[in-house]
Structure 1
């Protein structure tokens, strides 16, 4: 069976396909997904439907770049850069911290993302947010 980190890496890689059904096998039936500050989605069907709506909002680009990942048992923490295409065609990154809980069966039971919604709004309004995104350089 895959480790919790391997499950989360696979899930993040599948996000780039923008196919919510491809994510279904990695989600527990009673999973909970929430972007903090927004309502939670409970149950695999609700999560898959929500992700489908998100993907349709950004049909040309959607990618997760894992900058850092760590686990403590079933809990996996990710520092990510999530890329979405803006109305002007650029694909800037939004910094996101995510918490995933992976059950004993290798399925995600909880996924919570923390990000600055105002930064996302600025990006979608065409503002240059590059100075507001932390560097991922380790040097």
Structure 2
């Protein structure tokens, strides 16, 4: 069995492929996924469906860059820059904090993302958000 941080790293790496079905093996049947402030997706089928819809909204770009990661047992915290394509074709980064809980079977049982929804709205409206995104350089 893989360590929880390895499961989360693999999951985040798969996001760039924009293939929701590729995520399925890493998600527990009874998992819950939620972008805070939006309704939760309950169960692996709902999560895969949600991700497929997100990938369809952004067909040319979708990737997670892990800036920092910390874990305590089954809980893995990620500071990420998530890249999606803006209307002008650019691929700016949206800062996201994520919590993943990995079960004993090596599958994600809970995934919760916290981010500034208004920042994403600005991006989708074509605003330049580059000055609003923290630097990803490590000290």
TM-score range, shorter chain: over 0.9
| In 2: Cα distance, 1:7 partner to 1:99 partner | 13
Residue in structure 1 matched with residue 108 of structure 2 by the alignment: 108
Quote the RMSD (CA, aligned, Å): 0.6
Task: Output the CA distance in 2 between the equivalents of 1:110 and 1:138.
Answer: 28
Give how far 1:135 is off: 1.1
SS at match of 2:17: coil
How is 1:1-139 mapped onto 2 (pairs within 5 angstroms)? 1-139=1-139
The unaligned stretches of length 5 or more in structure 2 are none
- Residues of 2 paired with 1:83 and 1:135: CA distance? 14
Deviation of residue 24 (structure 1)?
0.2
1:87 deviates by 1.0
Structure 1: 4+ residue segments shifted above 2 A: none
Distance 2:70 2:91 in 1: 26
Unaligned residue ranges in structure 1 (runs of 5+): none
Distance 1:125 1:80 in 2: 22
Whole-angstrom distance in 1 between the partners of 2:130 and 2:86? 13
Distance across 1 between alignment mates of 2:8 and 2:95: 17
Shift of 1:59: 0.2
